[in-house]
């Protein structure tokens, strides 16, 4: 059914596709959006149908399109073929390559290649969107209550932690960040690590990308040192401290995303357990005896 709807209502609206033979197959991997692999006369593309709840999650499809074009221009993201409004349907060229596994991201060479791709996008220019994990968690909390959801008790424990972190961090130049660095969004094309799905992108703190990647893949401290050394060329204590603090904020953002989804999503997914896992990890990280040292070092 979904493939038929896609073919009838979308395919002919992509410039140059009307009347051309094509084959369509669903792509898995996403929780909310629907993705399709479409072959048109031998060329292969990805068509992404966005979730209706995207705006409640802070997603602006026009800004995502802008970020996707920036990522494509610097060789990190796939080529953008079309953006169909008002639905916000994004069509990109399919990247031929291998997935990056959970095991692979811990390899020193892979960490270096990922750091190179992150540095490339962070130096790519600017987009008309801002991303702050501190404001995102506040927005998610507000939207949750407005839609009849309840904030779990441990939010009150997380809020002062986030406040301490925000106060400690010295200002950094804003750079274009991906902000959702799961290895499912990485493709190894043989020459470089490509990154897809830019729906949460915005101008922000590069250390959120680094911390988000680190916590999503549970990097060891040795792994984190390798990542930072590959990214900056050297490792200093303030960089490590900032990454560690942004690991905590990444878990806070993910936890609140799960809390909000409980209020707005109709998907058969255990968002309560998802939120609980990230809150537990947040509190464990903030309970590290080095936490106060990280706050002090990050401000230096």
Q: 195: which strand partners?
A: 186
CA distances from 246 to 109, 213, 214 (A): 23, 10, 9
Decide which of 10 and 208 is more confident: 208
Domains and CATH numbers, the chain: 2-93 (3.30.200.20), 98-298 (3.90.1200.10)
Confidence of residue 54 (pLDDT cuts 50, 70, 90): low
**Average pLDDT score over residue span 112-137:** 97
Q: Please say if the pLDDT value at position 281 is more than 80.
A: yes
The pLDDT tens digits of the residues spanning 151-182 come to 999 999 999 999 999 999 999 999 999 999 99
pLDDT-above-90 percentage for the chain = 77
**Average pLDDT score over residue span 50-78:** 87
Burial of 116 (0-12, 13-18, 19+ CB in 10 A): middle
pLDDT score, position 299: 82
pTM above 0.85, yes or no: yes
pLDDT score, position 150: 93
pLDDT score, position 4: 38
**Average pLDDT score over residue span 231-255:** 96
pLDDT score, position 268: 82
Q: Please say if the pLDDT value at position 2 is more than 80.
A: no
Query: Is residue 94 within 8 Å of 52, Cβ to Cβ?
Result: no
**Average pLDDT score over residue span 32-58:** 83
User: What's the rounded Cα separation, in Å, for the pair 167 and 172?
Assistant: 13
Find the length of the chain. Answer: 300
Q: CA neighbours within 13 Å on the CB side: how many for 210? A: 27
Query: Is residue 207 within 8 Å of 247, Cβ to Cβ?
Result: no
pLDDT score, position 32: 67
CA distance between the termini of the chain = 57
pLDDT score, position 59: 81
User: What's the rounded Cα separation, in Å, for the pair 235 and 229?
Assistant: 5
CA distances from 199 to 6, 167, 202 (A): 20, 28, 9
pLDDT score, position 1: 32
**Average pLDDT score over residue span 184-192:** 95
Decide which of 8 and 233 is more confident: 233
User: What's the rounded Cα separation, in Å, for the pair 295 and 102?
Assistant: 29
User: What's the rounded Cα separation, in Å, for the pair 165 and 193?
Assistant: 31
User: What's the 3-state SS for the chain?
Assistant: CHHHHHHHHCHHHCCCCCCCCEEEEEECCCCCCEEEEEEECCEEEEEEECCHHHHHHCCCHHHHHHHHHHHHHCCCCCCEEEEECCCCEEEEECCCCEECCCCHHHCHHHHHHHHHHHHHHHCCCCCCCECCHHHHHHHHHHHHHHCCCCCCCCHHHHHHHHHHHHHHCCCCCCEEECCCCCHHHEEECCCCEEECCCCCCEEECHHHHHHHHHHHCCCCHHHHHHHHHHHHCCCCHHHHHHHHHHHHHHHHHHHHHHHHHHHHCCCCCCHHHHHHHHHHHHHHHHCCCCHHHHHHHHCC
Q: Please say if the pLDDT value at position 16 is more than 90.
A: no
Confidence of residue 145 (pLDDT cuts 50, 70, 90): very high
């Amino acid at each position: 059914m979904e493939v038929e709807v896609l073919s009838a209502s979308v395919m002919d609206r992509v410039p140059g596709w009307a009347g051309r033979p094509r084959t369509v197959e669903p792509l898995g991997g996403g929780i909310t959006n629907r993705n399709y692999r479409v072959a048109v006369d031998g060329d292969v593309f990805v068509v992404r149908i966005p979730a209706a709840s995207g705006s409640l999650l802070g997603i602006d499809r026009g800004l995502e399109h802008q970020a996707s074009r920036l990522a494509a221009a610097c060789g990190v993201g796939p080529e953008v073929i079309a953006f169909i409004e008002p639905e916000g349907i994004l069509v990109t060229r399919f990247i031929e390559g291998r997935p990056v596994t959970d095991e692979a991201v811990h390899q020193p060479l892979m960490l270096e290649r990922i750091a190179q791709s992150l540095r490339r996008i962070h130096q790519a220019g600017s987009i008309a969107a801002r991303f702050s994990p501190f404001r995102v968690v506040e927005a998610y909390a507000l939207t949750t209550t407005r839609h009849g959801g309840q904030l779990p008790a441990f939010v009150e424990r997380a809020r002062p932690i986030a406040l301490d972190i925000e106060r400690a961090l010295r200002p950094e130049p804003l750079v274009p960040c991906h902000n959702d660095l799961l290895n499912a969004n990485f493709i190894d094309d043989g020459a470089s690590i490509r990154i897809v799905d830019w729906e949460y992108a915005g101008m922000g703190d590069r250390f959120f990308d680094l911390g988000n990647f680190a916590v999503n893949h549970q990097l060891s401290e040795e792994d984190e040192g390798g990542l930072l050394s590959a990214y900056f060329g050297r490792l200093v204590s303030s960089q490590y401290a900032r990454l560690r603090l942004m690991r905590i904020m990444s878990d806070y953002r993910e936890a609140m995303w799960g809390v909000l989804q409980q209020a707005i999503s109709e998907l058969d997914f255990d968002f309560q357990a998802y939120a609980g896992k990230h809150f537990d990890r947040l509190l464990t990280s903030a309970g590290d005896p080095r936490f106060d040292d990280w706050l002090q070092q990050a401000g230096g």
